[in-house]
Structure 1
């Protein structure tokens, strides 16, 4: 799933810190997601990511 997030970040020219700021979360949360420490991200987290990247949740399927 992180691969899709990273792809969208590149397209939107956002780094991880900028994305976390847009989402209103700690950068560490995204880092945990990236490193696989968050195995099953919550709907709320995925919604925040999708909203910050201006994509639909279906993009993660």
Structure 2
């Protein structure tokens, strides 16, 4: 999986969870405690190529999922 695909897959998983919760990317940014929407939109647009664990952890917490559920390389795998 190349870097661009990896970032796209991160965002694809996040977008599905945002849609499921019925919130916007801006609301996710607020729930994750980011000072503005810039971080979320940078991830969405691909400007952030390698999101930090800290960023993914905050997003996962805001979406009430585990960081494992956001991993692009874990598509379709069952939980233990």
Shorter chain as denominator, the TM-score bin is over 0.9
**How many residues are aligned here?**
61
Q: Secondary structure at the match of 1:55?
A: coil
State the 1:23 CA deviation: 0.8
**What is the root-mean-square deviation in Å for CA atoms of aligned residues?**
0.6
Matching of residue 33 in structure 1 with residue 46 in structure 2: no
**Where does the alignment leave 5 or more consecutive residues of structure 2 unmatched?**
1-9, 72-80
Moved over 3 A (4+): none
Q: Distance in 2 between matches of 1:10 and 1:39?
A: 23
Over alpha carbons, which structure has the higher Rg?
Answer: 2
Provide the TM-score with structure 2 as the length reference.
0.74
Gaps of 5+ in 1: none
TM-score normalized with structure 1 length: 0.95
